[in-house]
Amino acid sequence: MIKKRQNKDNEGESPLKALRSDLDMSQEEFGRSIGTTARTISRWEAGDSVPTFTIPQLKALDRLLKLKGKTIQDLPDDFGPSSQMQTAESD
């Protein structure tokens, strides 16, 4: 059975999506640049799966962040949509 994603139109934007938009990259471009797929990026942004990074992916992400004058330390602890994070915090 395939689970359909709930409509999340009213949820806040994912910090990962905001970062990707700030870098002016599509999901495919961003995924390729850090060594994963656009589908994985989509799932991470939607909160369907928790992002996990390999060391090479973290290094690639760090290089992208440096283009915007940021570091890994500037990233939030959670990349899911903001309303999903608020729900998790209130549990």
Residue 77 belongs to a domain: no
Residue 43 belongs to a domain: yes
pLDDT exceeds 80 at position 86: no
Residues 6 or more apart from 80 whose CB is under 8 A from it? 14, 44, 47, 50, 88
pLDDT in tens, 5-34: 454 444 678 899 999 999 999 999 999 999
d(CA 85, CA 82): 5
CATH number (domain holding residue 44): 1.10.260.40
Its pTM stands at 0.74
Among the listed residues 53, 47, 49, the one whose alpha carbon sits nearest the alpha carbon of residue 82:
47
Place of tokens 């990259």: 25
pLDDT in tens, 56-68: 999 999 999 999 9
Total number of domains in the chain: 1
Give the range of the structural domain holding residue 62, as residue numbers without chain letter.
Answer: 13-67
d(CA 5, CA 48): 8
Residue 24 belongs to a domain: yes
Banded pLDDT at 76 (limits 50, 70, 90):
confident
